Amino acid sequence: MTTRRQFLTTGAVGAAAAGLAAPAVAQTTPIKWRMQTYAGPALAEQVVDNCIKTFNEIADGEMEIELYYADQLVPTSELFRAMQSGTIDAVQSDDDSMASPTEVTVFGGYFPFGLRYSLDVPTLFNEWGLNEIWDEQYSAVGVKHISAGSWDPCNFAMKEPVKSLDDLNGKRVFTFPTAGRFLAQFGVVPVTIPWEDVEVALQTGELDGVAWSGITEDYTSGWGKNAPYFLTNNISGAWIGHFFANMDRWNEVPDRLKTLMKTCFDQSHYHRQYWYWSGEAKLRVEGTDMELTTIPDAEWQKVEDAAHKFWDEIAAESELKAKVVDIFKKYNATMAKAGPPYRCG
């Protein structure tokens, strides 16, 4: 069969012989984006690598996304500003970590006790109106909110066992800004350092633990070997993370490639759903690096009660925040009334 290359060669010769002009061959320049994720290399293999590889393969040279890991181009706390200015084109992160200036930032990452299960995230965004709120907030500051998805729950991984709230007092913990603000009332000392420095900080004693993930990431990131006590109580059942892009760069992309990008990112959200769901259970049962500890339910209830007061504090800050808190309240009340399997206990 005649290949495209053969046709361009022999066809041109034939056309010239017939006294006809050979057709011009269009030259196109591929669209190139730079995306930075909040995740380090080991974690990125599961949370973003595959969807970027798939997108690049299907785009077939028409567009290419170059992926960079945590802090490779800019510090995580500068991700939003770098994307907004066009220094980088796209970001995978939560609102909180990238220091978004929007009013919804406080709800990104781990909003204390806002979620019980990972499926709560896509439900809230796609069925309870959060997508529209996030879209409006980010469009106003020149950023495209592409999609939201869930990651793992937020548990403590500690160098020493935690069996009561008193055991957290004075402990230096790597965590997210909003989670740190909430946990400080229990004596936790929030620490913010580059993601890649966490493992060494645990080894040297600069950190007493992390409240940044579930057990899957403790193993994947290597933290479990240096913080071998896993507290089964969590302050959130899932992390809320997103894909974002600079609005001008997004608008330059053809619609079919926008659709492809959204589809690949949705596949990434789906992959994480089952990867974390499986990992959180399997590693609790079969993991050998970490020992499980638990704070009794009656004592942990104090933390949950404090979270609901924290919600009201956030709601009092603005009308928009009050609207989001109201959605969280109504959603969780509906789930509780629905009973198992939506809410148990």
Please list, in sequence order, all residues whose beta carbon lies within 8 angstroms of the beta carbon of residue 126, skipping any fewer than 6 positions away. none
Do 115 and 250 lie in one domain? The reply is yes
Query: Residue 224 domain-assigned?
Result: yes
Do 216 and 232 lie in one domain? The reply is yes
Residue 211 β-bridge partners = 175
pLDDT of residue 326: 98
Report the distance separating Cα 191 and Cα 177, nearest Å: 9
Query: Residue 13 domain-assigned?
Result: no
Do 214 and 270 lie in one domain? The reply is no
Query: Residue 2 domain-assigned?
Result: no
Do 227 and 171 lie in one domain? The reply is yes
Do 276 and 330 lie in one domain? The reply is no
Report, as ranges of residue numbers, the positions in the chain whose pLDDT lies below 70: 1-27, 345
What's 167's domain CATH number?
A: 3.40.190.170
Report the distance separating Cα 209 and Cα 174, nearest Å: 7
Q: In this predicted model, what pLDDT tens digit does every residue of 231-270 receive, in sequence order?
A: 999 999 999 999 999 999 999 999 999 999 999 999 999 9
Do 224 and 180 lie in one domain? The reply is yes
Residue 343 φ/ψ region, left for φ over 0, alpha for ψ in the -120 to 50 degree band, beta for the rest: beta
Do 74 and 189 lie in one domain? The reply is no
Do 93 and 145 lie in one domain? The reply is yes
Please list, in sequence order, all residues whose beta carbon lies within 8 angstroms of the beta carbon of residue 313, skipping any fewer than 6 positions away. none
R_g of the chain, CA atoms, integer Å: 24
Do 185 and 73 lie in one domain? The reply is no
Report the distance separating Cα 53 and Cα 115, nearest Å: 30
Please list, in sequence order, all residues whose beta carbon lies within 8 angstroms of the beta carbon of residue 231, skipping any fewer than 6 positions away. 155, 156, 157, 158, 162, 293, 294, 295
Average pLDDT over the chain, rounded to whole? 92
Query: Residue 4 domain-assigned?
Result: no
| Pairing mode of beta strands 240-246, 172-175 | unpaired
Do 248 and 270 lie in one domain? The reply is yes
Report the distance separating Cα 344 and Cα 235, nearest Å: 16
Do 69 and 208 lie in one domain? The reply is no
Do 54 and 68 lie in one domain? The reply is yes
Structural domains of the chain, count: 2
Tell me the CA distances in angstroms from 297 to 64, 131, 234, one per residue in order.
49, 34, 11
Query: Residue 166 domain-assigned?
Result: yes
**How many Cβ atoms from other residues are within 10 Å of residue 86's Cβ?**
12
Long-range contacts of 292-300 (CB under 8 A, 24+ apart): 292/230, 292/232, 293/161, 293/162, 293/163, 293/229, 293/230, 293/231, 293/232, 294/163, 294/231, 294/232, 294/233, 295/162, 295/163, 295/164, 295/165, 295/231, 295/233, 296/164, 299/164, 299/165, 300/165, 300/233
Report the distance separating Cα 3 and Cα 246, nearest Å: 39
CA dihedral 261, 36, 85, 267 (to 10 degrees): 20
pTM for the whole structure: 0.89
pLDDT of residue 18: 41
Query: Residue 345 domain-assigned?
Result: no
| Pairing mode of beta strands 154-158, 63-68 | unpaired
> Residue 268 belongs to what domain range?
31-151+239-281
Residue 242 β-bridge partners = 93, 148
Closest alpha carbon to 209 in 226, 192, 197:
226
Query: Residue 243 domain-assigned?
Result: yes
Q: In this predicted model, what pLDDT tens digit does every residue of 157-182 receive, in sequence order?
A: 999 999 999 999 999 999 999 999 99
Please name the amino acid found at residue 132: E
Query: Residue 306 domain-assigned?
Result: yes
Give the distance from CA 195 to its chain's centroid.
14
Closest alpha carbon to 70 in 201, 163, 193:
193
pLDDT of residue 345: 61
